[in-house]
Chains A and B, each alone.
Chain A
Amino acid sequence: MDCNCKKLRDDIAAGRIKSAEAVEAVFDTIEKNDSKIGSYISTFKEQAIANSKQLDEKISTGKSAGILAGTPIAIKDNMCTTFGATSCASKMLENFHAPYNATVVEKLISAGAIIIGKTNMDEFAMGSSTENSALLKTVNPWNTQCVPGGSSGGSAAAVAAGMCSAALGSDTGGSIRQPASFCGVVGLKPTYGRVSRFGLVAFGSSLDQIGPITQNVTDAALMMNVIAGHDPADSTSVDEKTAPVCDCLEKIDEPIGNLKIAVVPQFNTGADGDVQKAINEAIEVYKKMGAEIVEIDMPHLEYSVAVYYIVATAEASGNLARYDGVHYGHRAEDIENYIDVYCKSRAAGFGKEVKRRIMLGTYALSSGYYDAYYLKALKVRNLIRGDFLRAFEKCDCVLIPTCPTTAFKFGEKMDDPLKMYLSDVYTIAANLAGVPAISIPCGFDGNDLPIGLQLMAPAFGEDKLLRIARMFESKTDWHKRRPPII
């Protein structure tokens, strides 16, 4: 069964397919394949089927069932739910049961989505391969020797392997787009402030955004229509007056006239040959559709990784201070005094990468180093944002690869954190500047691993960005290929 979101929704709403059938079919696929892939940390089969049956009844009586009417959706395990645990793939929160739902979860439910499970990730969203999960190993559905990318690796793998209609991920430095690229699916990081972060377990609060991972661009637009919008519970979510929410789906198939796309000379080198070739071909596709390609200098982008690993870790060191074994979460056993509760519980509850980043962030904020690292990083961040503001005066979007490589092998970068960090070089800038960015499939390398094309647009321009992405998708078939495992 083709389980892409929009089509399935239309079928269910029209009564051609029952939601319960769709949900059961997805669970069949999960039961058949997820032992190999490892997308889900937890699933809610009984609850999901019960909910879908209720929805079917609603639909049969002619009532509207919401714009996601009965479609099976997965969410990353760093979004709070009152059902199941919210583990962040960490021993620290393995048994944490949130007493509330994240705003996006509430929005999904009221749109009629059936939440089928929570997906694997790098612990606390820190990583680029999902290898940092303390609970589960997720493989790339295209090649099980390779990582699915990260940190939303479980969500991307689940979408690629047809184990849900669509999924939510979170993106702090590329954690939606990079795994989407590695798994050959679509991943959108919305503008900072467009989607509520309430209930998203924070990593780098000024960078984190929740976004959709889907089989195609249209589904991403549909998901955005569900999750975007102001939330009074999140002070950093932008109000309707400042930036009204647009209907992303309405004109999704309308191409944009006089399209101007910018390429960045600084990022023209450095990617693998196959990746660069695919990007160049993508540029040709746009040219054929009448787009004008302009070259724009963005001289500060090369500092993105440096800035990011200070800003994100500094914020993380604060955000993760609360996991101390006092009020919730893991508490170590061999405790002698109250200081032990902290030091030992955190030592046992956190994995290595989390510890490394807490250490780095604490160092960058500590007295004597603050100005040289944290403050300097905030200043360079402003320069990077300036690059984008200037670029968008001259173009509709910026086009670069999502990643310099395709999916890499397990263990390849685990010993060298810096090498791992540098693989985020193309995705980080959008988070630092707060602009929306999307990754869409644009080819395969010599090993049949998917390649992602990244488009970045001005803040709150998701509707236009999705249309530009859809233009490419409508002329190509890359998104229709499915991994060999299913």
Chain B
Amino acid sequence: MPRFFFWMAEVMSKKIDAELVKKVAKLSRLELTETEVAEFANQLSAILDYVEKMEQLDTTDVQPLAHCLPISNCLRDDCAKPSLGTEKILENAPDTDGDFFKVPKILD
């Protein structure tokens, strides 16, 4: 097979292309360089190819299992306790304005 077809095959098997990587990066609030975009497109596609082996299993009648715990209703009584306080909570803040966290102007 000529080299061209190898290349085609590779492109066509890709689960995730650069555009999708960029979309997911936007959802994830991650600024990626073009190099990273290309790298992630390849790596994530390879991982997803592997992950798709799950499809071999018939799970029609299987319940999804989000947790292995035998418990429910972990409840707390409605009692108020002292909070941390403004000073303590702002100690780790990258930027503050008085008693507030500070961020560049939020535009709706």
Contacts and interface: CB of A to CB of B under 8 A. Distances in A.
Nearest to A96: B92
A337 to B, nearest CB: 5
Interface in B71-89: 71, 74, 76, 84, 88-89
B101 A327 contact: yes
A417 B48 CA distance: 12
B29 A324 contact: yes
Given A300-B57, A359-B24, A362-B28, A417 B47 contact: yes
Interface in A21-63: none
A-B pairs with lowest CB-CB distance, top 10:
A434-B68, A378-B64, A328-B92, A331-B94, A382-B65, A379-B59, A342-B29, A235-B74, A347-B31, A343-B31
B63 A362 contact: no
A232 B76 contact: yes
Contacts of B88: 99
A317 B69 contact: no
Interface in A109-167: none
Interface in A164-202: 192-193
Interface string A7-19: 0000000000000
Contacts of A238: 69-71
Nearest to B60: A379
Given A343-B30, A363-B24, A382-B64, A306 B43 contact: no
Interface residues of A, number: 71
Nearest to A374: B64
Interface stretch (A350-358, A395-403, A469-477): A350-358
Contact of A366 (B24, B57, B66, B94): B24
B30 A356 contact: no
Contacts of B44: 356, 359-360, 363
A358 B84 contact: no
A355 B30 contact: yes
Contacts of A339: 29
Contact of A360 (B47, B65, B76, B104): B47
Interface string B36-73: 10001001101110111111010100111111111100
A233 to B, nearest CB: 9
Given A235-B74, A359-B24, A376-B59, A306 B51 contact: yes
Interface string A228-240: 0000100110110
28 contacts: A99-B89, A193-B68, A238-B69, A238-B70, A242-B70, A303-B53, A306-B53, A321-B29, A326-B93, A326-B103, A335-B104, A338-B107, A340-B104, A346-B30, A347-B32, A355-B36, A358-B28, A363-B16, A363-B20, A373-B51, A375-B64, A377-B51, A378-B64, A379-B62, A380-B54, A380-B59, A382-B64, A383-B59
A486 interface: no
